[in-house]
Amino acid sequence: MTRLWQFRGGIKLDGNKSLSSEQPIAKANLPQFLILPLLQHIGVPAEPVVKVGDKVLKGQIIAHCQANDCYLKMSVPLHASSSGTVVAIEPHSVPHPSGLTALCIVIETDGRDEWIECSPIIDYTTLSPMTLRQQVAMAGIVGLGGAGFPSHLKLKSAGIDTLIINGAECEPYITCDDRLMREYPDDIVMGAQIFRHILGGTQHCVIAVEDNKPAAYSALLQAAQGRVTVVKVPTLYPTGGEKQLIHVLTGKEIGKAQLPADFGMVVHNIETTRAVYRAVKEGRPLISRVVTVTGNGIEQPQNLEVLLGTPIQVIIDQCGRKSDIKQLIMGGPMMGFTLPHDQLPVIKTTNCLIASSTQAIESPKPTMPCIRCGACAQVCPVNLLPQQLYWYTKAKDFKTAKNYHLFDCIECGCCAYVCPSYLPLVDYYRYAKAEIRANEQERQKANLARNRHEFRTFRLDRDKAEKLARHQAAAAASQPDKQVIIEAALERVKAKKVPNHSEEKPIQEESVH
């Protein structure tokens, strides 16, 4: 697998990675309180198994997935990130574009950071893939590249012959995966080997690294020692997209409504791979992750290994907060979203925090009418027609927008980046998707209400019919048999017709004597 292809579209971006890429990974300070949302991934939230006042240890399960066989479900358990006391289980603001609250477990740390007893697996090759997959699920591991898809669900597909480890960190500013590849290449290679064992021994295993990360490439190449293939891929946004990376490496285009597993491939993120290594070889669940803290609102941009649940304010202060931070973004500048404040916790999908000072924020440029230049279509990596989607969305013709494959949009932002009219195209697409989803939910609610009404009518008619039948049966049972009545009447008549000989007197004989 040495030949490379190029996907359609994409753009070259200024990386701005030098702000933090040369700083080794440091540990974030232990906060006084940890705020742990029950849902930090795609799927079903976990259910608390602790109560307020409970003492917990680092790594202890505090919320279990909503089924005993969670390794088969779209859910993972949640672990305490440090030792301490549960002081609240209540709604709290969480990092999400909606700005809504979610149920969280709040732990007041005790400063000892005391672990539970861990059970590392010395030789994972002696265990079955099912056992290892369950180990991954119980460790609470999800995709740490930002998607948050439960990792164990990507390890059960049969017929997988190619494993791809995604080291294409294509968003500007983000350097956490780069530092992990440079500092922990052995862990990543071993994690890939564990993946291969779980997948039944994939024929191909490739770690893809962008060509603007020569140090990471060299470190992985040295650690691989021929066990896995390390490949340089061109630095072009959004190469880190799952389908785009597959296209670059294999030339195969994953079509609409198709999955990589349909083509015998599976893709995992760099940090996810290391998390699997730690879960198996060290027996430790996912209770921390590396976060890039950067931007010109930070005195010392760097990469920190942060305990999940740590308030963002704590790590920004640790990196040196400049006064007057105007904007705080979680994720990259292309696909990330603005946070309302810094009193939110770090969660499993928090890979980057960009704090920008007032001077760095450009005033939004006034939008102008679309001139139909077609530049948006030229850079779209999924072959959409962004211009048409914009028009249909603006006209609120969501049905037609959906027919133009609106939901294939990965919201990479390439179209808005090149738009000469400064149209916030991605915002339009997100609006259209939200409206379609809302309409779909309303339609489902209406269908559900109609079904309930129809069933209620059916149930009332059925009960009425059954009641009538019971009454008729009871009435029939209470009436005497007609035949019996007739026979009784006949008997009475017959009885009246029979003469009473005992009462007749022998009148003639008495008169003769």
Tokens of 208: 């893809």
| DSSP, residue by residue, 306-318 | EETT-BHHHHHHH
Q: Nearest CA to 209 among 226, 185, 173, 186?
A: 185
The whole-angstrom separation of Cα 61 and Cα 327 is 35
Instruction: Pick left, alpha or beta for residue 171 (phi over 0 → left; psi -120 to 50 → alpha; otherwise beta).
Output: beta
> Cα separation of 227 and 204, whole Å?
10
Closest among 419, 425, 421, 428 to 368, alpha carbons compared: 421
Pick from 415, 433, 435: which is nearest to 425 by CA?
A: 415
Structure tokens that stand for 25 in this block: 């990974």
Cα 306 to Cα 288: distance, rounded to the nearest angstrom = 5
Q: How far apart are CA 97 and CA 440, in angstroms?
A: 20
DSSP code for 381: T
Least Cα distance to 107 among 48, 39, 40 occurs for: 48
Contact 432, 389 (CB under 8 A): yes
Q: Where are the alpha helices (DSSP H) in 395-506?
A: 398-403, 414-418, 425-478, 482-497
Place of tokens 């640790």: 318
CB count within 10 Å of CB 276 equals 28
Q: Where are the beta strands (DSSP E) in 155-253?
A: 162-167, 204-210, 229-233
As a residue count, the chain comes to 513
3-state helix, strand, coil in the chain (%, to 5): 40, 20, 45
| Token pair of 128 as six digits | 């079955």
Structure tokens at 317: 């202060």
Q: What is the rounded CA–CA span in Å between residue 151 and residue 269?
A: 10
Other residues' Cβ atoms within 10 Å of the Cβ of residue 471 = 10
Tokens encoding 167: 């080291």
Largest CA distance in the chain: 158
Known binding-site residues equal: 370, 373, 376, 380, 409, 412, 415, 419
Residue stretches of the annotated binding site for [4Fe-4S] cluster: 370, 373, 376, 380, 409, 412, 415, 419
Q: Please give the Cα distance from 254 to 512 (Å, whole number).
A: 134
What is the H or E stretch that residue 510 is in? helix 507-512
How far is Cα of residue 384 from the mean position of the Cα atoms in its chain? 25
